Amino acid sequence: MTHDNTTSPTSRLPTYFISHGGGPWPWMKKEMGATYDQLAASLADMPRQIGRTPKAILMVSAHWEAPAFTVQGNAKPPMIYDYGGFPPHTYEVRYDAPGSPELAQRVQSLIAAAGLPVQIDPERGYDHGMFSPMAAIYPKADVPVVQLSLRRGLDPAEHLALGRALAPLRDEDVLIVGSGLSYHNLRNFGPQAHGVSKAFDDWLDAAVVKGAPAERAAHLQNWEAAPAARMAHPREEHLIPLMVAVGAAEGDAGERVYHEDAFMGGLVVSSYRFGAV
């Protein structure tokens, strides 16, 4: 069902964990060819899945860590070109979505009420974990976006708890998106990584889709015991946003909404949605 934005939403929004790709890929079609076509199509399909334009998006990006959970309070966030070695034009790209200090305050209050450490950063800009996928999801940059940091230490249980604290936003027309990568080992890319990425991806799908929703948190807290876990994530900052998406949709069914078995020449990668649409 499609809803007019002037009316109150009639259903709870799902949450997402998306694989956001590498660097400023939406602005590198000439250089990358068809490499990102499947990922781009899956991201572009999210508005159709949701069935309406949300009031705002809260995005937890793998590319921001802070001592306390930190909310972006900037009304007009600048660009943060947090990548290296890309063509000169990619350091001039723009994704000028508005921020939302009002949502930032709401997020801060929810996190504080859960007893978790939180602060607002009034200056923080948008990093590529936000603007690269958002260029595919909402290319007009007309939906307000607020970023939320990970907390240093990357404790899975703490980020699941963060998701639980944020769950009320789903009834307030705010879309919660965890932006990372289901496989992130930059030293082991390409065909030689197919086996380890598949082993971890198979476990991930079983843990968050095929298993009982009530058991997901326990599986994810023990993710390091998964097959090829540390080969897939030598450092887990690109996996931890999944914990937030899962925590905010505890008890809801999961569905794999993007999957490739030969990404970048051989990687097995996936994205997930939690909750009905």
Q: What pLDDT digit, counting tens, does each position of 101-144 carry?
A: 999 999 999 999 999 999 999 999 999 999 999 999 999 999 99
To which H or E segment does residue 241 belong?
Answer: helix 240-247
Classify 187 as helix, strand or coil. Answer: coil
> Quick one: pLDDT at residue 10?
55
> Quick one: pLDDT at residue 191?
85
pLDDT category at 71 given cuts 50, 70, 90 is very high
Question: What are the strands of the beta sheet with 174-180, ordered from one edge?
Answer: 118-121, 69-72, 145-151, 56-66, 174-180, 15-19, 267-274, 254-263
Per-chain mean pLDDT for the chain? 94
| Predicted confidence (pLDDT) at residue 6 exceeds the cutoff of 60 | no
The domains found in the chain, sorted by start residue, are: 15-274 (3.40.830.10)
SS3 percent helix, strand, coil of the chain, rounded to 5, is 40, 20, 40
Backbone φ, ψ for residue 276 (5° rounding):
-75, 155
> Quick one: pLDDT at residue 265?
86
| Predicted confidence (pLDDT) at residue 37 exceeds the cutoff of 50 | yes
**Distance between CA atoms of 198 and 116, rounded to whole angstroms?**
35
- Centroid of chain to Cα 84: 21
**Distance between CA atoms of 79 and 98, rounded to whole angstroms?**
12
pLDDT category at 9 given cuts 50, 70, 90 is very low
